[in-house]
Chain A
Amino acid sequence: MTAPTAARLEVRGVTVRFAGLTALDDVSFTVEPGTVHALIGPNGAGKSTCFNVLSGVYRAAAGSVVYGGRELTGMAPHAVAGLGIARTFQNIVLTAGTVADNLMLGRHRLTRAGFAATALRLPGAVREQRRHRARAAEIAEFLGLESHFDQPVGALPYGVRKRVELARALCAEPGLLLLDEPVAGMNPAERLDMADTVAAIRAALGISILLVEHDMGMVMRLADTVTVLDFGRRIADGTPETVRQDPAVLHAYLGQQEAA
């Protein structure tokens, strides 16, 4: 159960094309170990595409992604997960079953029990399951999910399910956590709660977090660095303060109006 420590993520010149549409065009940025890095931009800017490249779901047409010295482009998603990169989805993608089942899925890469050992209930498999379930319960408690631990996810409210997804990603003990719009669709109280949680994760675990988010308040409060995408291109990169005053960013978000 060795938690990988955060490593540097370097995205260099990544380009993704879908049948004539260039979704990402020569995008580069670096996520320093242990920082919160936000990826923002208007709808269709290529943020989710970028996430899919980072987690191995999409192939980049050009460019490279290096995490801790390993080249990720061309790796299968499960191999990327094996390096300690975990992610959540914009629209919740959970498995039918209890919260515990989902969190234990998060521990898949850290566990070994195979078909034969599990089917026959060999002591090693039973012990492994018990040990990892205890850790999953700890993580559930950290995210305030302890009372839901044995409940089926289908019956839980939206905001809670969103937290279950985050907990599942944390259960993989990642060094880099990719959060795709963690507060989308939440009410203001839930948003504040989630922002506190992300801050707490960073403080407690020291892992890197790459965040796609539309909620500017949350981005400005949490992020150490912000990268702004528009139509698949990087238009700004820097601290929240510099990005906020960047004319290109204001133009992308507000249209033709000049910066006030």
Chain B
Amino acid sequence: MSELLTGRRAAAGAGVLVLLALPFYADGFWLQSGLFAMAAVLGAIGLGLLTGTAGQLSLGHSFFLAVGAYGYVWFSGGASGNGPSRLTGLGLPPLLALVLAIALAGAAGAVFSPIAGRLRGMYLGVATLALVFLGQHVMLNSRSVTGGFNGRPVEPMSLFGFSFSDASPRGLAVLGVPFGGLERLWYLGLALVAIGLFTARNLQQGRPGRALAALRDSGTAAAVMGVPVARYRCAAFTVSCLYAGAGGALTALAFTRVVPDHFGLALSIDFLAMIVIGGLGSVGGAAAAAVLVSLLPQVLTVYAERLPLIAPAGSDAFGATPGEAARCLYGAAVVLILTLAPDGLAGLARRYRPRPAPAAASTAPAPVPVSRTATRPSPGKEPTP
């Protein structure tokens, strides 16, 4: 048992080292994709707690991400422009703005939570749907706060004079690798994800998580065990919005510009796909699936020319855009997961977890070396010139 535990610790440690080392090797495109994935992980953790642990459906998750994103932009951004393009903002220190943005998303959730406390599962899902449309309306029309359709630039994060952008200190290099905004943000994102995973796991394994799981499985049983059902449903909703707020703020930082289009119903559906693929009720599974689902369109974009039926972005070639193709693929993944492995990635990991075998020798296959330059040609079609 202890051997197994040290094995898993070693694997986790190796994973952390790889994540820490990535900015030294990956280019800007992948770093930005990675940051989107981290934002998705934070959002998925929140929705996982609400839907997977507490059994409450929310289709309004993208709204609370938007609150976090625009909250950060408004708290940190200064007033500028005049006339119809005038922007307002508080111009607060970015760290304070980040904390306030997360709190604002939580507060928005708390305002909605009396509804969340009274509606169960599916019904709550329909009620939260309204939030997405409300959010779109506000984002498009409240121009002085959101910048309207074209969005608004994002004030970079900075900590005690150290900016998470290409400026201040300009031309920073670590071990000969230039450290611009994305490289610096990478570590901020990792820190947020680490905090998110740590707190969510603690919640799930502690008293609140047990109460939420109980009211998911039977509201009556939870109540007669002393769990105030409505209050816990409210709390679960609020907590999930806090994570959404953090994810939204990180999205804003990674994008450097927030636009209303990003926070539509499709984003909410993406989050549902993530937690289903990850396995309902599993924090780690939701995080892993969030990475898969948010990186898939990026991967398809890069390899669009080599893949059949996928048209490179901006071309007139026959085929689906990478974004559409990604949605089809993980839509299929959701169907496969629901029919073949209802416990998702987390369930598959449990099923194939190495057991403490008498022979210490690992039977795991050696990792396949992946070259960064040469990609294997896809079977079938040759890339068209």
Residues of A within 8 A of B (CB): 55-57, 76-78, 80-82, 86-87, 89, 93-97, 101, 104-106, 108-109, 111, 113-115, 118-121, 125, 128-129, 168, 172
Q: Across the interface, do B224 and A81 meet the contact criterion of CB distance under 8 Å?
A: yes
B210-222 Cβ-contact flags toward A at 8 Å (1 or 0): 1101101110111
Residues of B within 8 A of A (CB): 198-200, 202-203, 206-211, 213-214, 216-218, 220-229, 235, 239, 281
Contacts between chains A and B (CB distance < 8 A), count: 98
Q: Across the interface, do B223 and A105 meet the contact criterion of CB distance under 8 Å?
A: no
Please report the C-alpha to C-alpha distance between residue A106 and residue B227 in the assembled complex, in whole angstroms.
10
Contacts of B227 in A (CB 8 A): 78, 105, 108
Q: Across the interface, do B229 and A78 meet the contact criterion of CB distance under 8 Å?
A: yes
Q: Across the interface, do A109 and B199 meet the contact criterion of CB distance under 8 Å?
A: no
Given A86-B225, A108-B227: 20 more A-B contacts, CB < 8 Å: A55-B224, A57-B224, A77-B220, A77-B224, A78-B226, A93-B221, A96-B281, A101-B210, A105-B222, A106-B225, A108-B225, A113-B206, A118-B206, A118-B207, A119-B200, A119-B202, A121-B198, A125-B206, A125-B207, A168-B225
Q: Across the interface, do B210 and A109 meet the contact criterion of CB distance under 8 Å?
A: no
- Ranked 8 nearest A-B pairs via Cβ: A109-B226, A118-B206, A77-B223, A81-B226, A119-B199, A93-B221, A113-B207, A78-B228
A155 → chain B, closest Cβ, in Å? 13
Closest-by-CB residue of B relative to A168 is B225
Please report the C-alpha to C-alpha distance between residue A146 and residue B281 in the assembled complex, in whole angstroms.
26
**Contact for A95 among B202, B213, B229, CB less than 8 A:** B213
B345 → chain A, closest Cβ, in Å? 18
Contacts of A115 in B (CB 8 A): 203, 208, 235, 239
A148 → chain B, closest Cβ, in Å? 17
Q: Across the interface, do B202 and A93 meet the contact criterion of CB distance under 8 Å?
A: no
Please report the C-alpha to C-alpha distance between residue A76 and residue B231 in the assembled complex, in whole angstroms.
12
Given A95-B217, A96-B213, A118–B224 Cβ distance below 8 Å?
Answer: no
A17 → chain B, closest Cβ, in Å? 20
**Contact for B226 among A82, A94, A114, CB less than 8 A:** A82
Contacts of A108 in B (CB 8 A): 207, 210-211, 225-227
Contacts of B221 in A (CB 8 A): 89, 93-95
Contacts of B235 in A (CB 8 A): 115
Q: Across the interface, do B218 and A93 meet the contact criterion of CB distance under 8 Å?
A: yes
Contacts of B229 in A (CB 8 A): 78
**Contact for A81 among B202, B223, B239, CB less than 8 A:** B223
Q: Across the interface, do B199 and A120 meet the contact criterion of CB distance under 8 Å?
A: yes
A56 → chain B, closest Cβ, in Å? 7
**Contact for B210 among A80, A93, A105, CB less than 8 A:** A105
Q: Across the interface, do B202 and A172 meet the contact criterion of CB distance under 8 Å?
A: no
Q: Across the interface, do A105 and B225 meet the contact criterion of CB distance under 8 Å?
A: yes
Q: Across the interface, do B202 and A76 meet the contact criterion of CB distance under 8 Å?
A: no
Please report the C-alpha to C-alpha distance between residue A81 and residue B209 in the assembled complex, in whole angstroms.
19
Please report the C-alpha to C-alpha distance between residue A133 and residue B199 in the assembled complex, in whole angstroms.
20
Q: Across the interface, do B214 and A57 meet the contact criterion of CB distance under 8 Å?
A: no
Q: List 26 interface pairs A-B (beta carbons < 8 Å), by A numbering.
A: A55-B224, A56-B224, A77-B223, A77-B224, A78-B225, A81-B223, A81-B225, A93-B217, A94-B217, A94-B221, A95-B213, A95-B216, A95-B218, A96-B213, A96-B281, A104-B210, A105-B225, A108-B210, A111-B207, A118-B202, A118-B207, A119-B199, A120-B199, A121-B202, A129-B206, A172-B226
B150 → chain A, closest Cβ, in Å? 37
Contacts of B203 in A (CB 8 A): 115, 118-119
B221 → chain A, closest Cβ, in Å? 4
Q: Across the interface, do B210 and A95 meet the contact criterion of CB distance under 8 Å?
A: yes
B356 → chain A, closest Cβ, in Å? 15
Contacts of B211 in A (CB 8 A): 105, 108
Please report the C-alpha to C-alpha distance between residue A62 and residue B213 in the assembled complex, in whole angstroms.
34
Please report the C-alpha to C-alpha distance between residue A172 and residue B222 in the assembled complex, in whole angstroms.
12
Q: Across the interface, do B217 and A96 meet the contact criterion of CB distance under 8 Å?
A: yes
**Contact for B220 among A57, A86, A94, A129, CB less than 8 A:** A57
